[in-house]
Amino acid sequence: SEILSKFGYDEMRGDGVATMLGIFTSFSDPTAQLENYPNGKPQLRATIEASVFWDPRDPAQSRTDESTWAWTENPIVALLGWVLDPDGFAIPYARIEGNLAEWTAAMDVCDEPVLSIDEGGYVARYRCAGTWQLTDKPKDVASRLLSTCDGRFWQKRDGTLGVAVGRFRAPTVTIAD
């Protein structure tokens, strides 16, 4: 109703697009403005579960059916989505498919429980949240995602893409004095 009153018609719905409406008052009276907003004009900020990605570990999800994808905080699931996305690296799935077990193992490391929460559940080893713009360089977006999990990915000799995340591994060799 607020949008309808401002624009005069209801075709401003934006189905499928995240939308926020903020109504701020007291901007015509400077005294009330300073009283209500001592830090200046308010800015809308929100934490939302916006992007969905294909998680190959979930049998209910289909790589080719975006309606089955789910929101995630797993940085490697997000990286896989970014690598395959036409707005990201646009790398063909065939270059991932041969190493999918490596990718899912890295996803599993990210999801390892490291801290129990009093309300139930746990905090995962690695989580990510953030934004990028379509004008950002794909390598910069990938770098930001990988920085959240001490990760790296690279092209292997056969042209496929490998991935690894940070994890303590007990040494297999000890070098004496």
Mind listing the pLDDT tens digit of every residue in the chain (177 residues)? 676 676 666 666 666 677 777 777 666 777 777 777 788 777 777 777 778 999 999 999 999 999 999 999 999 999 999 999 998 899 999 999 999 999 999 999 999 999 888 888 889 999 998 888 889 999 999 999 999 999 999 999 999 999 999 988 888 999 998
β-pairing, 161-164 vs 113-116, is unpaired
Instruction: List the beta bridge partners of residue 123.
Output: 115
User: Sign of the CA dihedral 139, 70, 97, 103?
Assistant: positive
The whole-model pTM stands at 0.75
At residue 62, φ and ψ (nearest 5 deg) are -115, 130
For residue 23 the two structure tokens come to 């109504």
Count CA atoms closer than 13 A to 152's CA, side-chain side: 5
